[in-house]
Every structure is written in C-alpha cells, then in structure tokens.
Amino acid sequence: MHRLTDETEQLARQVLELVLARERQDPWPLGGAATPEELAERVGQTITPGGLGGPEALRRWVEGLGPATVAADHPRYLAFIPHAPTVASEIFDLLISASGIYAGSWLEAAGAVFAENQALRWLADLAGFPPEAGGAFVPGGTLGNLSALHAARHAALTRRGGERPARWQLAASAEAHSSIAQAARVLDVDLIDVPVDANHRLTGANVRAALEASQVDRLFAVVASAGATNLGVIDDLPGLASVCRERNLWLHVDGAYGLAGLAAPSKRAAFAGVEQANSFIVDPHKWLFAPYDCCALVFRDPAQARAAHSQSAAYLDAINERNEWNPADYAVQLSRRARGLPFWFSLAVHGTDAYAEAIETTLAVTQQAADEIRARPYLDILVEPELTVLVFRRHGWTGADYDAWSARLIGSGTAFVVPTRFQGEPAARIVILNPRTTLADVKTVLDSMA
C-alpha cells in the first residue's frame, strides 16, 4: 500500500495535472453545494473492502464530490472571510504533505520549525514584539484564541500563587469573534460583554468603567479585535493596553483576519498599541495568502505559554529534556503538521514587499468599492471601511430580499455573498482580501442589487 508502484506513480501524475489545470483555469468555477442524497446518487458507496483503485476513486472526487465544494479563492467569493493562497504556498503544501514531517518537536523537525519560526518572527517584528517573542502555527483562529487565553489564565493563576477565584472572567465586546465566547465556554470562565463606542470599538475607557462596576480580581484577560470579523473595525489598542497594564491583565489581540494589515505600510499606524499586547493571532489562511488551515499564534513571553501548554509524559521525556523549541509547547496541540511552511515558502519565494503590495491592492480596491457604493442611490454604506470589510444596505430590502439575492448569485455561479446583520437589521456584507478581486467584480455584485 505504501510503495510507489506504476499505478501510484501514475496517480501522482494525474493529481499533479489536476492541480496544474486548476491553477491554469483562472478563475476556477465557484462551485456549489449539494444534498447528501445528491452526493450519494453521484458517487455511491466509496469505502469498500477491496478498494476502488486510484483512477476510480479520483474520478468520483473529480466528477462527483469536488464540484460540491465552493472555491473560497474565487475572486468573487466575497462572503465570510475569503481565501487567496499563492500558487507557491499551495504547491509547497503538497510537498509537505508528502514529506512525513512530525512538526511538534525540534528533535524531529528542526528544519521545518526553524523556517516556521522565521515566518513567525516576521509577524512578531511587524507587531513590534520583543526578540524573545514566539509561538506556533495552529489550525485556525479559534484554536489560536483558545490557546492564548489558556496561557493567559495560567499566568494569572501563577501570579496569584495558585489561588483560584470562584469564577474567572474574561472581557471582550459583542463584536469579538464567536470563537472568544467559545473559548470562554471551553475554559469555563464568564465572558464580560463590554459595550463598544459609537464606532463599534472596544475602548480602554469602557473596559475601565466595566472593571469599576465588577470584581476586578476575577478578570484575567481582555480580548481586543484588530479587524473584528463582521465590521472590520480595529479596537482601541492603545487604550486597552494601558488599562491592562494598570490592572495587570493579559491583553490578547485577535487579529485573525485584520492583523495582516500590519504588512501594508499605509495601514500600520492603525494597529498602534498591538506592540504592548501579551499575545496575538493572525491567520495566514485569511489575508496572508496561505492555504487552510493556518493560524500564527505569538506570545510576548513564550515561557508563560510553555508553562501552560507543555505536556509531560514518560515517553516525551526524550523531547522535553532537550530544552529545544517545540511548537507543541505553545498551544493546545501535540502532533501537528508543519502548517506554517506553505506560508513560509510563499514569503520566502515572493518576499515581504510583494505581501505589502498585495495587501495594499486589496485595501485600494475596497476604497474604490466604497466609493462605488456611495455613488449608487439605492445603496447606503453603514460603516466606513477601516480594512477591507464593506457593510451596506439596499433601500427597501427585507431579510428575505437579501437571502434571495445571495441565493441568486450563488445559484448562477456569479458570486458567493451572504447577508449579515447590522444593529439587528439585515445588511449586505462583502470582504475583499483576494488581490485578484477587481472593482469590476464588486460592480457585478452591486449591479445585481439594482
């Protein structure tokens, strides 16, 4: 089963040719959904005692299952948070998958971990973190946030000499990503919902007011969003950093989507204050052009993360006694693929200037798209775009109209857009982070709302 035979070599060539065909066809069709019944009809039972054989299993994927997936890297995929991996990152991901690398420890993956750490270092430098900062790549923002907050609580517990309050508390705004509430549930801590200001931002002043009204000694961390998912807003990072410093609280910055903007010189100032955080995350599978799934988790003081996350077991002594940089020590994970390497390879191939340019391109297209929305009498922009999220309203539309519009565009393979809610009311939302998305793509979507 494991040896390369004529058949498996042939299969490898077929797979590579499919990959290249997808890269050549620009854009690849948007794809779509299917019901379980439709899929069963298309491919039948695929797991059999004797196996289907490579060509037949591949055929069922290519003809039956693959088309029932949406191309999140399509230039008119503008919903949720789009995806735009470079060819270099995708091709290198294939190589990593075929390289048998266990990237949990330095002992087993020194070269891979070294490269991942250079990529993390670039991000830490952009954020103004100190030289000793570091962390690991984890599957996504959800796990990155959870891992950061577990380290934060562990640090608070250590500071308190092991004495636990009846309930721990975590502060964030309602604009924080749903993974923060999820982390609070997993950690079994109470989430304080701090009100935002008129610009939808969590501010230091509002956290200070909330602290004065509550029991300060239970709070262990404040979560700031640097590019909140729904509206793209950056919280008051300097104000939050200052209140966290005063109260000895851990500041975690969730920049899963937005912190990539640090790479764009025109946006860097908007993130001032991030350099004072205790930890941050940013997902290369979002606005840093890497394949799923990849989140960079960076700690100002990695020793605090290690104290919280390191696993010990007799069979792991051989690793732990070496005192090397083991990515497994910095998050809720042990076995891991070298998921930061496709991002590293793409950065190494293209250079950081190309990253800056690509991100600036998406910022510029977003501003042009905002002007286009303002110029259309049937649309109202609801939030001035700080990054690349556009939230706007079509006069006279109800929730059902937005749903029908979304279904129409997806159904015709034109664009992938879904509505959102703004202040409780339905609205349109598009996110531009694919450098191949043009103003013409956005106009196609806006025309469909006329």
Q: Which residues bind ligand PLP (CB under 6 A)?
A: 81, 140-142, 145, 177, 179, 225, 229, 254, 256-257, 283, 295
Least Å from the CB of residue 284 to ligand PLP: 10
Nearer to ligand PLP, 283 or 329 (CB): 283
Could you tell me which residues are beta bridge partners of residue 234?
226
Q: Which is closer to ligand PLP, CB of 179 or CB of 346? A: 179
259 contacts 81 by C-beta, under 8 angstroms? no
Min. distance of Cβ 59 from ligand PLP in angstroms? 32
Is 412 in a helix, a strand, or coil? coil
| Nearer CB in complex with ligand PLP: 104/141 | 141
Q: Could you give phi then psi for residue 158, rounded to 5 degrees?
A: -65, -45
In angstroms, give the least distance from the CB of 141 to ligand PLP.
2
Nearest partner of 123 among 343, 340, 298, judged by Cα: 298
Give whichever of 105 and 279 is closer to ligand PLP, judged by the CB atom.
279
Residue 52: phi and psi, rounded to 5, are: -85, -20
- Report the distance separating Cα 143 and Cα 148, nearest Å: 8
- Closer to ligand PLP by CB, 224 or 446: give it: 224
Q: Which residues of 132-141 are buried (b: 16+ CB within 10 A; e: fewer)?
A: ebbbbbbbbb
- Quote the least distance from Cβ 282 to ligand PLP, whole Å: 9
Q: How far apart are CA 80 and CA 446, in angstroms?
A: 17
Task: Report, in Å, the least distance between residue 387 CB and ligand PLP.
Answer: 11
User: Residue 375 CB, nearest distance to ligand PLP (Å)?
Assistant: 29
Smallest separation (angstroms) from ligand PLP to the CB of 431:
9
Positive or negative, the CA dihedral 77, 81, 86, 90 is negative
Quickly count: other Cβ atoms within 10 Å of residue 380's Cβ.
14
DSSP 138-189: ES-HHHHHHHHHHHHHHHHHHHTTTPPPSS-EEEE-TTS-HHHHHHHHHHT-
Q: Which is nearer to ligand PLP, 300 or 339 (CB)?
A: 339
Q: Are 278 and 347 in contact (CB under 8 A)?
A: no
CA dist 424 → 126, 396, 399, 420, 427 (Å): 36, 16, 11, 9, 9
Instruction: Look at residue 113 and give its three-state secondary structure.
Output: helix
Identity of the residue, 82 or 327, whose beta carbon is nearer to ligand PLP in the bound complex: 82
Instruction: Compute the least distance from the CB of residue 256 to ligand PLP, in Å.
Output: 3
Output 31 or 82, the one with its CB closest to ligand PLP: 82
For residue 260, the SS3 value is helix
